[in-house]
Amino acid sequence: MPEVGSSPIENDRLLEIKDRKNIKKACEDSRVFSNFKNWWLYPTECESYENPIQFANARGFDCQNCKENVIFAGASPWYEWNGRAFVASEVGRELGVGYEVNLECDKDGWNYYNKKHIDFTNIAKSRKDAHFLKLRANGDYIAIAMPGERDDVDYGKSIVVALKGMINYWRKNGQNKPIYIHCTEGRFRTGDLLSILYLLAGEDIESVREKFLKSASNYFGKEATQREGYDVGAFDVFVKSVGKFGVSDEGALFNAETVNDRIDIVKKYLISNGMKESEIKELISFIKKTN
């Protein structure tokens, strides 16, 4: 289990960009939001973290069988109230992100993303050339209103909508430009979607749990150590829901004995939420290395 606040950057592409001038400038720009330092027990000053990439909770979709640099994830490039959006936006620019997957918390959540509250065309006046604004203008994004409860019957349907959006983007554009997945903090909804992808790529449940917890480590930084147990519980809630809606057994993924057993459970979960078997096969071909 990773120690909170100590996760290194493991993705080579992110290592390349962590010291670039615009990334450091975005880190400086985020200081105006430092008054939120004590919100949810985490520091919101970029300097409190080992590097700006960790501050933005940015990470790659990395595993033994995963295609490299086709997916990145992290905090929202829109939520400026804690400053991370400045860095997340510049990370997207440096990575050359071609498609945004925005996992909004809308149905039972805060509604901060609702267009009644945020005008996407006027956000970040200091960043009028923000990379994600350009993606929005070109229609290269999908925004999904997800239930606040992760064992909600509609949560899996939202996951499937996101995956279909990714498949459609790759069909039309190939994989030269990466996809960026985010929610608000880049932790729960983002971690859940990545967990599905990791399991389809053949990762075991403990490896997927460790990757899920890495996002908590990135997010809370050096000063916060009290939230890790909460994130472990959150991971277990989602894994149980996959078993519940996939094969009517909350413990199925924990008890699966083989890689194929785990993949089969995830497939059944996705199919129960509206995904075709042919789409799942295509998705796996997009995310998994060919032998």
pLDDT digits (tens, 9 = 90+) for 142-187: 999 888 788 888 999 999 999 999 999 999 999 999 999 998 888 8
3 belongs to a structural domain: no
**Confidence label for 222 from pLDDT (cuts 50, 70 and 90):** low
| Residue 122 in this model has a pLDDT that exceeds 70 | no
Lowest mean pLDDT: which of 47-51, 91-95, 251-255?
Answer: 47-51
Domain membership of residue 102 as a residue range: 12-287
Domain membership flag for residue 127: yes
H-state helical runs in 96-227: 131-138, 155-173, 188-200, 205-220
Burial label, 291 (beta-carbon count in 10 A; 0-12, 13-18, 19+): exposed
Per-residue pLDDT at 41 exceeds 60 = no
Q: pLDDT (tens digit, 9 = 90+) per residue, 51-88?
A: 899 889 999 999 999 999 999 999 988 876 667 888 99
Q: What is the mean pLDDT of residues 258-271?
A: 97
Position 291 scores a pLDDT of 61
* Residue 263, domain member (yes or no): yes
**Could you tell me if residue 5 is inside a domain?**
no
Tell me if 4 is assigned to some domain.
no
**Which residue has 């909350």 as its token pair?**
250
Q: What is the mean pLDDT of residues 230-244?
A: 88
Position of tokens 């670039």? 20
In-domain check, residue 6: no
pLDDT at residue 214, as a whole number: 81
Range with the poorest average pLDDT among 79-88, 221-230, 271-280: 221-230
Can you say whether the dihedral through the CA atoms of 170, 132, 55, 117 is positive or negative? negative
Query: By the 8 A CB rule, do 136 and 130 touch?
Result: no
How confident is the model over 239-268, as a mean pLDDT? 96
Model-wide pTM > 0.75: yes
Mean pLDDT, rounded, of the chain: 83
Question: How many independent structural domains does the chain possess?
Answer: 1
pLDDT of residue 151: 81
Residue 215 sits in a domain whose CATH number is 3.90.190.10
Q: Output the CA–CA distances (angstroms, integers) from residue 270 to 82, 133, 247, 248, 283, in the order listed.
A: 34, 31, 11, 13, 11
Q: What is the pLDDT of residue 106?
A: 61
Query: According to the model, what pLDDT value does residue 137 have?
Result: 84
Report yes or no on 214 lying in a domain.
yes
Residue 56 and residue 35: Cα distance in Å, rounded?
17
pLDDT of residue 3: 43
Asked if residue 2 is part of any domain, the answer here is no
